[in-house]
Amino acid sequence: MPTAGWTLEADDVVALPIDDLALRVLRDALQSNEWNYRNWLLAASHHGYVTRKDAVAALGEAWAWLVNRGLVVPDVDQNSIGAFFISRQGHEALTRGLPWIRAVQRLDVQMVPVLEGAARPQYLRGDFEAAALMAMKEVEVRVREISGLSTGLVGRPLMQEAFRPGKEGQEGGPLSDPEAESGEAVALMELFKGAIGLFKNPASHRRVDYTDPTEAAEAVLLADLLMRLLDKIEASRS
């Protein structure tokens, strides 16, 4: 049942964002050694919020949120309906807190296969620097593959040469679009140069401390966008 330290008023329970409420519920379940979420909800209904069905419903939604995200999982050693234990990721969420949970939610989208295999596992293990660096390295590798440029070109110079817009009487880089408006062609080149220069190059030379998991998640998602743009460029050339 909810512990004595559970002091949320019913209005607060209803008003809280679902992820914030769910983390509070999970922490209370750990502190109270609860093993059955149905018992926990019954205690809330009969004692804490006896006149507030809306608060009990919100708490039920919080438990469903925890189950759907694998933060609590069924305990097959128990016969009782509602038996659970806190998963490894659930304990990780309690340790890292709400910003980490929300950042993980940002990555809860289908990314290109190479980032699914390379960057997502690093991120979920909490190695944010490695996830962002790995994602941008994959972008660099992909640019080199489809441009056919020398392995001697790396980082920003590689992006510059690959996407260099053509000028009158001069052919552009292998990934530039000769039919694109000049401003757009320059913008595409600068997009790739900026992403690699900001998120890949510094991590290649020194340790970058991603204290904000959301920033790292956005870096990975930016790499995913760049990879999708590269897929479109390659498809247009075939």
Distance CA 231, CA 115 (A): 14
Please report the pLDDT score of residue 1 as a whole number.
46
Task: Please check whether the domain covering 10-96 is classified as CATH 1.10.10.
Answer: yes
Helix (H, G, I), strand (E, B) or coil at 65: helix
Please give the Cα distance from 19 to 8 (Å, whole number). 15
Q: What global pTM score does this model have?
A: 0.73
Every domain of the chain and the residues it spans: 10-96, 105-237
AA letter at 205: H
- Amino acid occupying residue 37: Y
Q: Is the pLDDT of residue 4 over 70?
A: no
Give the count of alpha carbons within 13 A of 178, CB side only. Answer: 8
Q: Are 93 and 27 in contact (CB under 8 A)?
A: no
Task: Provide the pLDDT for residue 208.
Answer: 53
The tens digit of pLDDT for each residue in 27-52 reads 999 999 999 999 999 998 888 898 89
Q: What is the DSSP letter of 206?
A: S
Cα-Cα-Cα-Cα dihedral sign, residues 76, 77, 81, 86: negative
**What average pLDDT does the chain have?**
88
What is the distance between the alpha carbons of residues 7 and 194, in angstroms, rounded to a whole number?
Answer: 48
Are the beta carbons of 165 and 128 closer than 8 angstroms? no
Residues 91-103 have pLDDT tens digits of 999 998 888 888 8
Phi and psi at residue 63, to the nearest 5°? -65, -40
3-class state of residue 220 by DSSP: helix
pLDDT, average across residues 102-117: 86
**Comparing 86 with 169, which gets the higher pLDDT?**
86
pLDDT at 88: 92
Lowest mean pLDDT across 3-12, 70-79, 127-136, 184-193: 3-12
